[in-house]
Structure 1
Amino acid sequence: MTVRARSELIELAPDDASLLSAGAFREEVIELGRPAVIRGLGAALPATRAASTAPSAALDYLLEFANDRKPQVFCGDPVNAGHYFYTDDLSGFNFTRSEMALADAFAQMLAHADNPSAPTTYIGSLVAPAYLPGFAEANHIAIVPRSVEPRLWIGNPSTAAAHYDAYENLACVIAGERTFTLYPPDAIGDLYVGPIDNTMAGQPASLAAPNGDTARYPRFAAAQARAITVTLSPGDALFLPKLWWHQVEAKAPVNVMLNYWWDATATGPDAPSLALLHAMIAIAERPEAERMAFRAFFDHYVFRTEGHPLAHVPEDRRGVLGDLRAGYGQIRAMLVRALRGH
């Protein structure tokens, strides 16, 4: 793999062998656990080519696939300049949501595109097969498994607060420009993360990153020192491993981005984030000594800081831990029975 590394960011050449297939990309890039920028990965997509003529052409191309379903549309007050976030007291949000036909939402975006005093319009996480049937087949990227549904992010200038995804994320700019500010997963304590159940769009977000207020959030300075900034032009793509924090700014009057989420390293149907939630309610508020005891067990059995927990036992006597892929169903059944009270 031919790469140029800047800090933890990998820069892949567009003709790199790791980009030939989803399997190669998983083995050579995903398993490294580092973000990667790939210039020009989506330059040949029909959507990108259509967008190169004018912002309206990008939206016209999408409308060629549109059905009658109405997605949820965010509308932001001009005073917020496209920053979609909480109200100051965290009781609500500084934008409104409504359902709107895609043609109407796009017309509103174009009408407000060159007017900074107008409201901003934004559609996020639009599942292409549900709203734009045929788009996925016409705009496939080889390093993504074909079973993964593409999503689209469309709107006037916007800033999405720093958040993480629980899956691998490949984002490719179709129209406009996107600037990503990245923070590694272990910066979580320096980001002053907001509520996990009252969020803008699913994942909790950093309260400190939008304004960089280190007087109110002093630990954020440590996160700032580790930040990686990447600006993507049309056709450029960014790969983000699970749990990497990212703030996303769309700067053009009209912006379109394509992204894919998938769990490339799953061993079964259960998501690690669900295990985290259950661990919170089961362990987080127990006495410190008990939490530290469980931490030792998690390190031993889950994080395996010293290798396989039964390395001292013959392989054919390790039971369900001998091969977790083989024992997956049995352990899952034990867990389900316990949760059901049996």
Structure 2
Amino acid sequence: MTVVDGARPVQECNASDICGADELLALTSHCRPVIIRGHCYDWPVVREAAQGVYAVIAYLAQFDGGQTAEYFSAPAALEGRYHYGEELSGFNFSREAMKVRDALSRIAANALGQSETGYMGSLSIDAHFPGFAAENSSPALGVHIQPRLWVGNRSTVACHYDSYDNLACVVAGRRRFTLYPPDAIGDLYIGPIDHTLSGQPVSMAAGFAENAAAYPRFAQAKAKAVIVDLNAGDALYLPKLWWHQVEALDPFNILVNYWWDGFSAGRDSPYAALLLSMIAIAERPAPERAAWRAYFDHYVFRPGGHPLAHLPEEKHGVLGPLEQGNYGRIRTLVMRMLRGG
């Protein structure tokens, strides 16, 4: 197994080690990936998948909510390597809306050797397969965290990141995750943020060994990579902002995942703050950007602790705990500034 940061291997544990929300919360605070072997091995869907493609398709079909979903497909010659087309002008795959039941049948047929590969991704289980979660649920997550389902043929999903913590549960086929820590971003040659394959920007270098000359810094990112292979029944806790390329290795594969943010103070996201910083700071002179970096470190990232630690807590004002009404006070100030008030 490749190591992260050249030193520490990814942590691995058994299902019995993560049996509740407290154990999972402890993982999220460390912001490092963890393999959980056998986490969903007892799920009925895993048992059905072990019987073959049509057994698990029939199992899923009994929960079909009659909804329509987006179906992605590509010629079989591409081996499910979904990415941009030539010159970033388009994509090398097609999308179409179809009934979930029809898409499942098409994916099952592809698994037997058809002329395409296909998949459906990020399907809300409550909407598309009502009742599925009651029989197949993670004991480490509350019912308020809604699962999503990914089903398809052999594929490679381009290296990207998510803004939420992720528990990815493999229920059919094998999955390979190639992970890069957040600080590898500068060496991954990230594509556009407003012209994406499916929402998130992707690495233009990861997974393309033939383009090594065009992306010389990628060797530094590759040195930090960790490769994780999961079998049906295994799960991976993947912290937010970790880059990951996901390969479905078998002709038919299913993944169930959960996204959540256990540290959110409200509806405002760090990504929104990042975008606002782009227009407020990114094109200012370098010396001024360096000055603002010092202020961000002091007030936001806080490597030296709380910025007002030298004052009594009752004098911290809006820099006191967010849960004591300061979230709303700061948000009011920001919204007033954005409105020009």
For Structure 1 versus Structure 2, the TM-score category normalised by the shorter chain is: over 0.9
Provide the residue aligned with 2:169 in structure 1.
Answer: 172
The DSSP-based 3-state class of the residue aligned with 1:193 is: coil
Q: State the AA in 2 paired with 1:131.
A: H
Counterpart selection for 2:68 from 64, 67, 70: 70
- Give yes or no for contact 2:189–2:205 (8 Å, CA) kept in 1: yes
Provide the residue aligned with 1:21 in structure 2.
Answer: 20
Go from structure 1 to structure 2 and tell me whether the alpha carbon gap of 1:8 and 1:186 turns closer, same or farther (over 3 Å shift): farther
Provide the residue aligned with 1:40 in structure 2.
Answer: 38
Provide the residue aligned with 1:112 in structure 2.
Answer: 110
RMSD (Å), alpha carbons? 1.3
Aligned-pair CA distance for 1:267 = 2.1
Which structure 2 residues correspond to residues 303-318 of structure 1 after superposition, within 5 A?
303-318=301-316
Aligned-pair CA distance for 1:14 = 2.2
- Give yes or no for contact 1:8–1:35 (8 Å, CA) kept in 2: no
Moved more, 267-276 or 255-264: 267-276
- Give yes or no for contact 2:66–2:101 (8 Å, CA) kept in 1: no
Provide the residue aligned with 1:142 in structure 2.
Answer: 139
Distance 2:197 2:61 in 1: 26
The answer to whether the aligner puts 1:11 opposite 2:12 as a matched pair is: yes
Counterpart selection for 2:208 from 195, 204, 211: 211
Which structure 2 residues correspond to residues 179-328 of structure 1 after superposition, within 5 A?
179-212=176-209, 213-326=211-324, 327-328=326-327
The DSSP-based 3-state class of the residue aligned with 2:11 is: strand
The DSSP-based 3-state class of the residue aligned with 2:23 is: helix
Aligned-pair CA distance for 1:179 = 0.3
The DSSP-based 3-state class of the residue aligned with 1:275 is: helix
Aligned-pair CA distance for 1:137 = 2.0
Aligned-pair CA distance for 1:325 = 2.5
Provide the residue aligned with 2:56 in structure 1.
Answer: 58
Which structure 2 residues correspond to residues 147-166 of structure 1 after superposition, within 5 A?
147-166=144-163
Q: State the AA in 1 paired with 2:312.
A: P
Q: State the AA in 1 paired with 2:154.
A: P
Q: State the AA in 2 paired with 1:209.
A: A
Aligned-pair CA distance for 1:148 = 1.0
Aligned-pair CA distance for 1:140 = 1.1
The DSSP-based 3-state class of the residue aligned with 2:86 is: coil
Question: What 5-or-longer segments of structure 2 have no aligned partner?
Answer: none
* CA deviation profile, 1:314-339 (whole Å, cap 9, x unmatched): 11111011223221111011111211
- Give yes or no for contact 2:28–2:239 (8 Å, CA) kept in 1: yes
The DSSP-based 3-state class of the residue aligned with 1:270 is: coil
**Aligned structure 1 segments of 4 or more residues deviating by more than 2 angstroms:** 5-8
The TM-score normalised by the length of structure 1 is 0.95
* CA deviation profile, 1:117-159 (whole Å, cap 9, x unmatched): 6111110111111111111222110112210111111001000
- Give yes or no for contact 2:189–2:215 (8 Å, CA) kept in 1: yes
The TM-score normalised by the length of structure 2 is 0.95
Aligned-pair CA distance for 1:44 = 0.6
Moved more, 160-169 or 271-280: 271-280
The answer to whether the aligner puts 1:92 opposite 2:90 as a matched pair is: yes
Moved more, 49-58 or 194-203: 49-58
The DSSP-based 3-state class of the residue aligned with 1:200 is: coil
Distance 1:288 1:320 in 2: 30
Aligned-pair CA distance for 1:8 = 4.6
Distance 1:133 1:269 in 2: 27
The DSSP-based 3-state class of the residue aligned with 1:226 is: coil
- Give yes or no for contact 1:8–1:34 (8 Å, CA) kept in 2: no
Aligned-pair CA distance for 1:106 = 1.4
